Structure 1
Amino acid sequence: MDNIFENRHDVVDTVKYSIYRDFQSLSPGNSLTPAQWLLAAQDFAAEALSYVSQWTSEYIWHKDPFTLSVEQVEDIDVPCVRGTTRFGDCLEDEWLIVSLLVEITRKYPDAVVGVNDNDGEFLLIEAADFLPSWVDPSTSENRVFLHGGVLHMIPIPRTPAEIPLYPSGKVSLQRALAVVRGPAPTEAPSEIQKVILERLAGYPGAAAKNMHNAKCYIPHKIAHILHHEPALVAPAVEAFYTRDPIAMKACYKMEQFPPTTNVMTTVRMNRPQYAQLVSQKFHPPKPFRLPPSTAKDFKYHDLGMKLACGFEMLFADQHLQNLSEQSQGYTVESYNCKVDPGWQAFQVRLNKLNYFRNELPGSKLYKELERNAQTQYLRTKPQTSSTTLSNPIDRIRALLELPLVAEEDLSQAPDMNDRWMEVDPRKLDELLNEQNLKFPEENWTKLDRDDDEMSDMDDEDRRDMEELAKMMGGFNSFVEKESGIDGALFPNEMEPEENSEEDSEEEDQHFPSRRTGSDSKAPLRFDESRFLQTMMGVLGINPDDLGQHNNKGATERDSVDEDIFQKRRKDTRFEELVSEDDNDAADRKEDEVMGSYMREMDRELSSSKMGSTFEKVAPSTSQGTGDDEEAEETAPVDLDLNLVKNILESFSAQEGLPGPAESILSSLGIRLPKQKARSSQRQ
């Protein structure tokens, strides 16, 4: 029963990481006491955070930052350093953390790191195409680590000589760490290493590309809060994005952050957070007065209104309010570290480790490093919990007690272009080509159109016509294609392997009638003399002996047999010609009958409600005007036009959600942009 609930506290989209160091090897000759182990782990956690801050000081995490805390592990006798980060919809946070862990293992050669998320060993999932056959979720536990800047996989012994080197079956954490640090090779295969390195290319420095600066009008208090702690934009955006009707009640009055004090400033956030704010259709509450949507600065007012509502809902969150009121622990803002001897001793050790990186006291980086160190120190106190330290309400209250920052001191960084939110058709085509989902060019049937008609179209209309032509061509080629015994094959599926050329040539030599192509329609030929020689050879008859005994009267019999054979041959050929004429006549008669049936059905459907829904071929201009109505009623249905119309109607009715039209188009390798589908449907 305990196993059922052992992961009940797991949160979706969360990455967990553990760093194991052998502190005993760093102080040879001296056996460390448990207290010394704890101090060494605490110093390492603070030092590691200081080391990675060169990449994370300006980074805005989506939900939780990269943190390290000292914990005791049951499987090993010494404490380790662990952390947990919720990355939510921002996968860049997860891979940034992996790159930071890789950098830590490069700086500290004895460090061994284990990292996983809700999916398990996601590093192995990334390289799933190159994994050995023995790897599965049950055998990979305590076998995958980061060490020395590369990925390590403890293999299962395959020979008796490998049994002393690698553990078989379930492996303990203590044994796994010893194997990774030992002399036995445990580095993952080069193909797996290549996939991981390609995914981490440019990291951790490349994480700066995930940042976005956006100008907006926000209340002066919020601008003051973000000026001191830009990371608080993350819980505010999360509160706005996950709002419910109860949380929306706080926005009806905007008591804490009234919009009457709005100021212009630049807010730094990550791209997913910006997309979550911009993409939401949100009607402004009553306290807000936004300019018309056609105004030049409407975007700034709309974005600031959403962000202000997020802070208002965050500050009014009852759950966070309860945590703040019920907590008996310390916070960085409320605890006076300067009078604590324990903090003073911890700060001395940090100075010896060059934790502050020669920064002057009072500088921006020094204050940030000092706050991180104080957070790390308070985590070791039994009255303090990680929830108390990360409660955004307590941090907001502490910042609001400070004097408001002057408006001219607020950030006025230039607004960044948000073109990255638009989907580039070329990049989409490249992605489809990489996934082998796009038809080869020779399989597409091009649209039959006149150059005069195309001359009046712009580039966008031409692209639309080409997309429609590809759609019709893809459906036609799929429908007309013959299916095999296993069913129809979609364009991105492989054809079954045919017989090799050598087998075909060998069959052609022994069985000439089995040739393919134009030769397959050739009539069968029977060589009488060759057949007779073959039969005589099988029966063991000598042709010379047979000729000596049957010389007499042979000429007469041969002439008679030849006449009979020629006569039968002529009669057979005549019967074949007569049969072919009869078959052709029957086929023509059958086609005429079927055509008459189809015309009668067309006339009946043309007068019904169902028939009026079909698009028909336009009547020719050469017809008389008196028969226009009748010609229009009996005109044949335009199959291609109806196909495109029905597909676009179905695709538009999905409203961006999965549906049959999207599934069919995806199977055929066609990717129809949602906006284009809607615009085509409106036209």
Structure 2
Amino acid sequence: MSIPLQYTREDDLVECFLFPHLCYKSTEEISQDELVSEINKYNNRISKYTHEYIWHRDSLGFQARTKNIIQLNKELDGGARVEDYQLPPHIYASLRFDEDVGDEWFLVFLVMELTKAFDGLIVKLVDSDGEFLLIEAAESLPSWATPQTCQDRVFIYNGEIHVVRDENLSYIEMLRNIREKPTASRMQYGIQAAIQKKIAIYPEEIQNRIHKARVFLPERAIAILKQEPGLIAAALRTVCQSDPLERKVCQAMKYFPPEQRAMVNVKMTRCLYAMATHCRYAGDPRTGWNLPSPNDSCHKPHLLGIKISCGLEMLVARASRKIKQNEDNENKNETEWVAYLKRLTANGYFRNLLEGSQEYNRLLRMAKEYFQSSSRDHSLFGDKNEAHRILETWRNAPHHDIESLSEGRLSPPDNDNWLNIDPEQLHSMLDQQWSSNDRMVDQHPPSIQEKVREFLQHSSDVDGVQFPGQLSKSNDDNSEIRANGDADDTRIDFNADAFDSALRGILDLVVPGDENDFDSNSEGSLGGSEEDKGGELDKYMRLLDSQLEMDLHLSGLREKSNTDTCVEDSTMELNLKESAEGEAGGAGAVGNILGGPIRRLLHLHLQSPSTVPPDLQS
């Protein structure tokens, strides 16, 4: 039986579980060196995509998880369920993307590339929404694909989405079945196409998402960003998410004084540029930023430089405070390590080895290294210790000759008109996003009468009527699966306007010719007063009469233009009318189609209200 991979997840966290073939092909224990070797292969493969990529928050990093590491993680978390870690050895990666969901789909693109390049590699991706890959392809899902049947059974293999339907298999059994019998778990064409459409923008999107701006920065900030360009994301996120208390350190600008500044080109993502543009913080005027007026062409570069510099200032100041805090808490960390070591011993981590033996010392060293790295990663920064990294970068940053930085050598900034979108552009973007290129467009759609006839002739099961929708494309393997009853590509294509028009036409057909059908007993059946009867009911009847006259006139015009069609339509209308009159508002085919509220109206028009069917009595 499959086990949930994680007990809780952050809202902006996506987790990646990579299972190389060596992790499930046999029951032999996998060493950390073997997984590290696989990680090196993966990093080499995707380096051409990631070496210039600016991550919004976390950078992608793979971790080897052997059985020992899984146990260390379980004991460190403490509160998590033991079942959450009953997984085979694997390679793990987590990524927090915050405001830029593009990082999550870039990870999907990288995973797809890895599964195509390495035979036997199977990957699972989950985020706070669960199986977000199936959510993206929700319109193409078969009827059996529900959150219960798909949870923790969605995998990526050879660049395609697979779902294991057998809920009684372990993870190793599921992985083996995917590799040995891929046709049994491969999803149909519509789902594959939806995911491919989402990631088709890569790798071109890597450059398209970059915005180059001119920025007026202090000397030390220029040196840091030149040494590590990716730190621009940490700086802008920090200043945009800071509060007035955190910004107090920017009054002195101890680490990035504004006296020595120069104009430079800085690259950032469009998401970061938009965040910085809409951030209202403009620095402390007492610091000496000398911000030009808003009408000056240098206003934007100066203002953006202030925000970047203040973000770096807050990061370095935060790291300095953390170092001092760690020095004061050494005794506390030692106590936590002792408690952690006791939990490991009690749960058999050291396998009853003799204390001081070579294997015991190796496991002890591994546990201590893991504890220390985890303690740093769970620091107050919450972003893989990036503030400590920037502090080290600040200390080693070389001095730049400001005089040698000529503004005339700079390339022009990118146009930022993409920040403003008019209604026409928004409408076009929505159409492009939600239109399905793979859906076949019928030039001659069936009439309402044909759809009603087809509906009445179709059978239903416990889940309701299954409409014969347009079949999506599939390969030969999926055709075989559908033939065996393992998949269902039927879809419901509901046109609200056409359905509303059909209902109005059916109501018009059953309007009685004699208004005297509503006798004095109607008031008692309807539960309304004489005033309601003479007001709302008469108004409604007059409206139906006018609609009937209009429809009769249009029917005459249609009869002149197309006799055969009118004959067929009239036959259908007569059949519907006869069925409605025969049911008299009670249970029946037409009544079930229209539902209870419409059946009440039919009853009022077709028979005396004094004989209301029991199922319609209120």
Question: Match of 1:248?
Answer: 247
Equivalent of residue 429 in structure 1, options 397, 415, 427:
427
Deviations 1:414-463 (A, max 9, x none): 31111111103322232466779xxxxxxxxxxxxxxxxxxxxxxxxxxx
Question: Match of 2:301?
Answer: 300
Q: 1:425 to 1:99 in 2, by over 3 A?
A: same
Taking the TM superposition and a 5 Å limit, the aligned residue runs for 1:363-512 are: 381-382=369-370, 384-385=372-373, 388=376, 390-402=384-396, 403-407=398-402, 408=404, 412-431=410-429, 495-498=499-502
Q: 1:188 to 1:33 in 2, by over 3 A?
A: closer
Q: Which amino acid aligns with 1:382?
A: Y
Deviations 1:188-237 (A, max 9, x none): 11011111111111313422211111110111111111111111111111
Q: Does 1:178 align with 2:176?
A: yes
Q: Which amino acid aligns with 1:15?
A: V
Cα contact 1:212–1:274 (8 A) shared by 2:
yes
Residue 388 of structure 1 deviates from its aligned partner by: 3.7
Cα contact 2:215–2:305 (8 A) shared by 1:
yes
Residue 494 of structure 1 deviates from its aligned partner by: 5.7
Q: 1:379 to 1:424 in 2, by over 3 A?
A: farther
Cα contact 2:263–2:405 (8 A) shared by 1:
no
Q: 1:499 to 1:226 in 2, by over 3 A?
A: closer
Deviations 1:388-409 (A, max 9, x none): 4732232223223333244447
Q: Secondary structure at 1:416's aligned position in 2?
A: coil
- Provide the rounded CA distance (Å) in 2 between the counterparts of 1:92 and 1:379: 35
Q: Which amino acid aligns with 2:422?
A: D
Cα contact 1:226–1:232 (8 A) shared by 2:
yes
406-415 or 311-320: bigger deviation:
406-415
- Provide the rounded CA distance (Å) in 2 between the counterparts of 1:116 and 1:323: 37
- Provide the rounded CA distance (Å) in 1 between the counterparts of 2:553 and 2:273: 65
Residue 84 of structure 1 deviates from its aligned partner by: 0.5
- Provide the rounded CA distance (Å) in 2 between the counterparts of 1:100 and 1:139: 27
Deviations 1:502-539 (A, max 9, x none): 9999999xxxx996428579xxxxxxxxxxxxxxxxxx
- Provide the rounded CA distance (Å) in 1 between the counterparts of 2:144 and 2:278: 44
Q: Does 1:96 align with 2:106?
A: yes
Q: Which amino acid aligns with 2:54?
A: I
Q: Which amino acid aligns with 2:116?
A: R
Residue 78 of structure 1 deviates from its aligned partner by: 4.6
Which ranges in structure 2 are unaligned for 5 or more consecutive residues? Answer: 71-83, 331-365, 378-383, 436-494, 513-544, 555-618
Cα contact 2:160–2:186 (8 A) shared by 1:
yes
Cα contact 1:219–1:259 (8 A) shared by 2:
yes
Taking the TM superposition and a 5 Å limit, the aligned residue runs for 1:655-674 are: none
Taking the TM superposition and a 5 Å limit, the aligned residue runs for 1:562-577 are: none
Question: Match of 1:45?
Answer: 39
Residue 87 of structure 1 deviates from its aligned partner by: 0.7
Q: 1:281 to 1:184 in 2, by over 3 A?
A: closer
- Provide the rounded CA distance (Å) in 1 between the counterparts of 2:320 and 2:128: 25
- Provide the rounded CA distance (Å) in 2 between the counterparts of 1:520 and 1:264: 76
- Provide the rounded CA distance (Å) in 2 between the counterparts of 1:259 and 1:394: 23
Q: Which amino acid aligns with 1:69?
A: Q
- Provide the rounded CA distance (Å) in 2 between the counterparts of 1:405 and 1:77: 51
- Provide the rounded CA distance (Å) in 2 between the counterparts of 1:323 and 1:55: 38
Cα contact 1:100–1:204 (8 A) shared by 2:
no
- Provide the rounded CA distance (Å) in 2 between the counterparts of 1:233 and 1:21: 34
Q: 1:43 to 1:176 in 2, by over 3 A?
A: same
Deviations 1:50-72 (A, max 9, x none): 22110111111100011111113
Residue 117 of structure 1 deviates from its aligned partner by: 0.8
Question: Match of 1:314?
Answer: 315
Q: 1:504 to 1:52 in 2, by over 3 A?
A: same
Q: Does 1:120 align with 2:123?
A: no
Cα contact 2:253–2:313 (8 A) shared by 1:
yes
Q: Secondary structure at 2:36's aligned position in 1?
A: helix
Q: Secondary structure at 2:276's aligned position in 1?
A: helix
Q: Does 1:139 align with 2:137?
A: no
Q: 1:516 to 1:307 in 2, by over 3 A?
A: same
- Provide the rounded CA distance (Å) in 2 between the counterparts of 1:323 and 1:14: 30
Cα contact 2:23–2:88 (8 A) shared by 1:
no
Which ranges in structure 1 are unaligned for 5 or more consecutive residues? Answer: 157-166, 329-377, 437-490, 522-683
Q: 1:297 to 1:41 in 2, by over 3 A?
A: same
Cα contact 2:282–2:306 (8 A) shared by 1:
no
Q: 1:194 to 1:255 in 2, by over 3 A?
A: same
- Provide the rounded CA distance (Å) in 2 between the counterparts of 1:171 and 1:412: 60
Question: Match of 2:95?
Answer: 85
Percentage of identical aligned residues: 26
Q: Which amino acid aligns with 2:415?
A: N
Residue 33 of structure 1 deviates from its aligned partner by: 5.1
Cα contact 2:88–2:171 (8 A) shared by 1:
no
Q: 1:226 to 1:276 in 2, by over 3 A?
A: same
Question: Match of 1:517?
Answer: 550
| Runs (4+) off by over 3 Å | 31-34, 72-78, 322-328, 378-384, 386-390, 405-414, 431-436, 491-495, 499-508, 513-516, 518-521
- Provide the rounded CA distance (Å) in 1 between the counterparts of 2:322 and 2:510: 84
Cα contact 2:87–2:171 (8 A) shared by 1:
no
Deviations 1:284-311 (A, max 9, x none): 3021211122212111000000111111
Q: 1:495 to 1:382 in 2, by over 3 A?
A: closer
- Provide the rounded CA distance (Å) in 2 between the counterparts of 1:223 and 1:429: 41
- Provide the rounded CA distance (Å) in 1 between the counterparts of 2:182 and 2:109: 25
Deviations 1:339-364 (A, max 9, x none): xxxxxxxxxxxxxxxxxxxxxxxxxx
Taking the TM superposition and a 5 Å limit, the aligned residue runs for 1:269-348 are: 269-285=268-284, 286-287=286-287, 288-317=289-318, 321-322=322-323, 325=326
Q: Secondary structure at 2:129's aligned position in 1?
A: coil
Cα contact 1:321–1:393 (8 A) shared by 2:
no
- Provide the rounded CA distance (Å) in 2 between the counterparts of 1:496 and 1:409: 69
Q: Secondary structure at 1:401's aligned position in 2?
A: helix
Deviations 1:134-157 (A, max 9, x none): 222222123211110111122x3x
Question: Match of 1:129?
Answer: 139
